[in-house]
Structure 1
């Protein structure tokens, strides 16, 4: 499939999905969100892909925010629809994606950019990365789940401070807060993130998909995380991956998971 605002490449079992609007610092607009939506569906249907790395083109920005010019004159109703559609088409899909999604934050991740990174299953960052939710400086609040996911990741107090001050934090502070898992030199970010992806791809993607569902259930207001875990745990016993994993362990060999 051909894309205008993103690129999609494959390396081994990993899909590398880049927002590709460097002249706009990879800012999110409606077309980019729609293309990301389509690309994720393409990746989901590709049995050769185990992990997705989500990053930005160039060295300056992962995503420096939403394209403000696109919605500066929106009405109340249009603003609500913008948030709802973005959640449905992209951010919730990323959070609940059945294959692991790692956000590799290269440079600025602000507003919608940080919100997109937070929707991923976890994050790596370059040493020059800067992160923040500056929306209150524009007279609006963080959208696309930003108020919810930031508090889940760094705690309510720090989330309140970051949102209220509209300030940025650097990669080291983001690592200290648990917002990112690893910090790498800019030139090493993608290779080191790929190394993590390769490690993940050796495990059962069937089991990982169920684990994602169970973990996310614990952060959902209308789901019971423990009940979801129990059901998913039991379901695993009926998979071919479970049979392969246990037999490989008992026979002291490496597993070759069929992904079923």
Structure 2
């Protein structure tokens, strides 16, 4: 269980925090209210952005805010399994099926769900297995899958098709807060004219809406691969025996 109060300590990323709160946290915190407005709480989302922008912190903070168990999965943990990555994925998801509430977080998702080029490689088998497990995971109403990636374009196109992930949410670097404008200036702020407020559920988003795979921006340069990442990719490219 993540430490309490983590959500409140996130600073410098107000736009992302507001968007994640409105899209993820509030519908999951208040399922009755969501049902009244015919909103379906999310089951799976992708956070994408450059390294070091807080994707893991946001995932932990969502679990902290919801008071749900948090399970983090790193690619090297799957690669070290003696029975292979696909088998490791099945063993990982099996106990999760018995949890009523959980936030399951996959970091560096591009390492295990990269675009498939050769159907004879292990990468093809691993991505296919993960896609099946995601659909099974989505059957739980109080479970949330969060996948983080530095390069969203490197994910397999099938990974981003409708029915698997509800939102693709960009997470940018923290920003320095702008100085507040003097009251009475008559300027138009992100929540409407100065001094006006909106209900919490209908407040306009201050960040760009989640983009689909057809409108996402060009990715930043991919960071140098670590030794672990190179080892994972080399393993997945090996022809399946």
* TM interval, short-chain normalised: 0.3 to 0.5
- Output the TM-score relative to the length of structure 2: 0.32
- Output the TM-score relative to the length of structure 1: 0.31
Which protein, 1 or 2, shows the higher relative CO under an 8 Å CA cutoff with sep ≥ 6? 2
More strand, by proportion? 1
More helix, by proportion? 1
